């Protein structure tokens, strides 16, 4: 990408450029409106109806639909805000009883367009993050985030509102990077009141703000601590206050933290527990072969905790508490690092690491949660060659792990093409940024990404060609093999038997990359 624009580009120019990216993405998203949507669609529609038709005191106790409100109050207020417009479009959307499983065109259009519009929050967050970067880095980041296929698949097809939540996160990071800690902390508190799943990065924020903001002697430090604390408490009060007033707070908490669920989601997210389970089953199998009697466990991994019985045959049981401890353990080296040297430049790295740990070791993790660490990592990906190489593989793996979300045949070409296209865009974006001389020639453009020159540069920093080493190439080829197996060979050879096997394979394969990424991120943080 020839950098015709000088680095001293003014802000309106950048805005226009960014809005162009958003516009093109919006057109594509518009075209995706009729595509498959999951039960999450009905969930959000029900919440629109709930917040519109019922008084506040009943929001968290209503039982009309199995899709009860399990996000914190700010999200409920957001749905309430949207419901005004929903009612204008079609009153039946917001009817609690008549609107159940309502699938008409109006509600589909309304909800899809609301997601597209709410993505503007993400656009703003990215704008704030990238306006001071140089042109190539900036455009590369825009490609990575605004045209992220994982975000399109989850938000605009499967249907969720991650775009604007991630936008809030990006905004918070941008303020922290600018050194404006209060704003950063404030936005994070707001984000937590929208979706409490983001609390995994809480320790990072806490330690960072404590060390970076509450400095300057005991008195001043304490004063600042008090200031920050007041802000956070104020945010939470605004969110939860009305529910305290109605005496509902117990109900709200119990809805927000449903501990009846199992260790894994129905489709196993590619995290650490997949390997733990497989190890357990493998050991059980081996030990049985050696004649040792192992009772088959009664409980299952995806069901809830059934009394004291463990779903594990050999290895120790895992409880929510133990997962929490593991997450904190994994986070601790990072926290120590932050304590020693809280400098704003690495904030994004730490936060992404926190979400990676949460994803790997958390309880009942969805594969969609991979968005939480992949998107912030994009901020870091443009900083150096190694980061870019790491990000390239990670985003492909996590996007591929989302494929089982769209299981209908008509979405198959879409998800494959989205991933391929994004990979190519990434490749070219990175190559343009990290090249010794000129961007690659046009003859390279039409070939696939499975190419690379022989020597891979191991120098960090901005020099060197963007190439993928042998490990990376093998991994990508492996993805093709896994997909071919799942789509073609498995039905051909095994027919209907073992239907979960391809999904398991995808989980494991992507899990490998996620674990590798975790280790890599940790090493990078420690080396900083």
Residue 31 binding another protein, by CB under 8 A: yes
Q: 1 or 133, CB closer to another protein?
A: 1
From the list 32-40, 67-75, 164-172, 372-380, the region that binds another protein by CB under 8 A is: 32-40
Q: Is 443 exposed, middle or buried (0-12, 13-18, 19+ CB in 10 A)?
A: exposed
**Residue ranges in 401-430 that form contacts with another protein under rule CB under 8 A:** 409-411, 413-414, 417-418, 420-421, 424-425, 428
Interface segment toward another protein; rule CB under 8 A; list 1-9, 67-75, 225-233, 250-258? 1-9
Site string for another protein, 188-227 (x = CB under 8 A): ----------------------------------------
Instruction: For 95-190, list the strands marked E by DSSP.
Output: none
Are 347 and 173 spatial neighbours (Cβ–Cβ below 8 Å)? yes
Backbone phi, then psi, for 134, in 5-degree steps? Answer: -80, 165
Report yes or no: 510 and 365 within 8 Å, Cβ to Cβ.
no
Integer Cα distance of 248 and 185 in angstroms: 27
Q: Does 315 bind another protein (CB under 8 A)?
A: no
Nearer to another protein, 135 or 327 (CB): 135
Binding mask 438-477 for another protein (x = CB under 8 A): ----x--xx-------------------------------
- Cα distance between residue 381 and residue 370, in whole Å: 16
CA distances from 4 to 1, 113, 134, 135 (A): 8, 34, 12, 9
Q: What is the smallest separation between the CB atom of 476 and another protein, expressed in angstroms? A: 17
Asked if 332 is part of the footprint of another protein (rule: CB under 8 A), the reply reads no
CB of 6 or CB of 296, closer to another protein: 6
Using CB under 8 A as the binding rule, whether residue 32 contacts another protein is answered as yes
DSSP letter assigned to residue 486: I
Closer CB to another protein, residue 123 or residue 264?
A: 123
Check if the beta carbon of residue 380 is closer than 8 Å to that of residue 356.
no
Q: For another protein, which is the closer residue by CB, 152 or 379? A: 152
CA distance 61 to 3: 56
Phi/psi at 465 (5° precision): -75, 150
Q: What angle do CA 296, 299, 302 make, to 5 degrees?
A: 125
Alpha-carbon span 300 to 63, nearest angstrom: 27
Smallest gap from residue 417 Cβ to another protein (A) = 4
Of 109 and 275, CB closest to another protein:
109
Note whether 2 binds another protein by CB under 8 A. yes
Quick one: 237 or 421, whose CB is closer to another protein? 421
Dig out the tokens for 498 from the structure: 């073992």
Our finding on whether 7 is near another protein (CB under 8 A) is no
Tokens of 166: 């991630």
Is residue 228 a contact residue for another protein (CB under 8 A)?
no
Chain residues binding another protein by CB under 8 A are: 1-2, 4-5, 16-17, 20, 23-24, 26-28, 30-35, 409-411, 413-414, 417-418, 420-421, 424-425, 428, 442, 445-446
């Amino acid at each position: 990408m020839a950098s015709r624009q000088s680095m001293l580009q003014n802000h309106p120019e950048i805005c226009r450029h960014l809005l162009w990216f958003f516009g093109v993405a919006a057109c594509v998203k518009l075209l995706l409106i009729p595509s498959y949507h999951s039960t999450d669609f009905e969930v959000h529609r029900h919440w629109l109806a709930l917040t519109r038709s019922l008084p506040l005191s009943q929001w968290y106790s209503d039982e009309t639909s199995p899709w009860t409100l399990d996000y914190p109050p700010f999200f409920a207020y957001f749905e309430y805000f949207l419901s005004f417009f929903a009612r204008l479009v079609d009153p039946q959307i917001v009817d609690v009883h008549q609107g159940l499983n309502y699938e008409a065109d109006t509600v589909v259009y309304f909800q899809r367009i609301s997601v597209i519009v709410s993505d503007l929050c993400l656009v703003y967050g990215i704008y704030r993050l990238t306006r001071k970067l140089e042109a190539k880095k900036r455009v590369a980041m825009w490609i990575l985030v605004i045209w992220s296929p994982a975000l399109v698949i989850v938000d605009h097809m499967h249907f969720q509102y991650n775009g604007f939540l991630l936008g809030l996160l990006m905004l918070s990071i941008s303020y922290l990077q600018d050194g404006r800690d209060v704003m950063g902390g404030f936005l994070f508190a707001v984000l937590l009141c929208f979706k409490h799943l983001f609390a995994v990065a809480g320790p990072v924020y806490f330690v960072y703000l404590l060390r970076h903001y509450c400095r300057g002697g005991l008195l001043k430090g304490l004063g600042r601590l008090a200031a920050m604390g007041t802000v956070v408490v104020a945010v939470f009060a605004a969110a939860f206050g009305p529910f305290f007033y109605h005496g509902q707070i117990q109900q709200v908490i119990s809805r927000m933290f449903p501990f009846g669920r199992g260790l894994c989601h129905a489709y196993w997210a590619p995290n650490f527990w997949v390997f733990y389970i497989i190890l357990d089953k493998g050991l059980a199998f081996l030990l049985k072969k050696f004649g040792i009697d192992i009772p088959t466990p009664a409980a299952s991994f995806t069901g809830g905790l059934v009394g004291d019985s463990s779903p594990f045959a050999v290895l120790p049981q895992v409880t929510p508490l133990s997962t929490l401890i593991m997450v904190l353990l994994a986070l601790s080296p990072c926290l120590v690092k932050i304590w020693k040297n809280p400098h704003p430049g690495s904030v994004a790295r730490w936060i992404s690491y926190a979400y990676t740990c949460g994803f790997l070791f958390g309880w009942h993790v969805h594969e969609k949660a991979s968005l939480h660490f992949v998107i912030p990592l994009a901020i870091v990906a443009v900083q150096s060659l190694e980061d870019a190489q790491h990000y390239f593989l990670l985003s492909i793996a996590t996007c591929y792990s989302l494929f089982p979300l769209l299981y209908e045949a008509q979405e198959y070409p879409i998800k494959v093409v989205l991933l391929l296209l994004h990979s190519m865009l990434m490749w070219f974006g990175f190559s343009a940024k990290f090249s010794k001389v000129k961007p690659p020639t046009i003859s390279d453009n039409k070939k696939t990404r499975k190419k690379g020159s022989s020597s891979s540069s191991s120098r960090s920093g901005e020099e060197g060609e963007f190439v993928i080493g042998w490990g990376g190439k093998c991994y990508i080829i492996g993805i093709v093999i896994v997909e071919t197996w799942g789509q073609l060979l498995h039905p051909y050879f095994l027919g209907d038997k073992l239907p979960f096997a391809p999904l398991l394979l995808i989980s494991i394969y992507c899990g490998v990359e996620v674990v590798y990424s975790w280790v890599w991120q940790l090493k990078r943080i420690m080396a900083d």
